Amino acid sequence: MRITDTEFPLQLSRKIDWSGLDYFGHVNNISYFRYIQTARVNYMEHIGLVESYSTEKKGPIVASCKCDFIQPLFYPGDITIRSSINFIKKTSFGIYHQILNDKGEIAADAQDVMVMFDFEKNAKSPVTAELREIIEQLENKHIGKNRE
């Protein structure tokens, strides 16, 4: 599922590290997942979930992380990872990422499914109305269960 450039409220730029290359000279698939993780944590920091974990022991856990590799990345180079929430359900939400090469071309599409979790009760917890409002303000739109 591709979305337009203007629908990504958060973007990160990174340099490709030589240590992330594989035998064939392009960026290893594990590095893509590290880029996705960096973007995921950045998003969670922006919406206050890192702070809420430290105060309330509630926060998201990764239920799923999927990546479709569109084209290889090479060293030296720069990438941009852009992220947007594409659904919010009762106890979960999805973060859609695109990884762009230094020409602005899509190198990968990725999807995280995050489940809100109460670490003291060891159980799922709901996405609160407050969290939904914070996300929708950042995204500058209403977000339903599925993107139209």
Give the residue ranges of the chain where pLDDT is below 70: 1-6, 145-148
Per-residue pLDDT tens over the stretch 38-67: 999 999 999 999 888 889 999 999 999 999
End-to-end CA distance of the chain: 11
What does pTM read for this prediction? 0.90
Determine the pLDDT at residue 106: 97
Residue 4 has a pLDDT of 52
Q: What is the DSSP string of 39-83?
A: HHHHHHHHTTHHHHHHHHSEEEEEEEEEEEE-S--BSS-EEEEEE
Q: How far apart are CA 17 and CA 77, in angstroms?
A: 8
DSSP code of residue 23: T
Contact 39, 108 (CB under 8 A): no
Predicted pLDDT of residue 145:
66
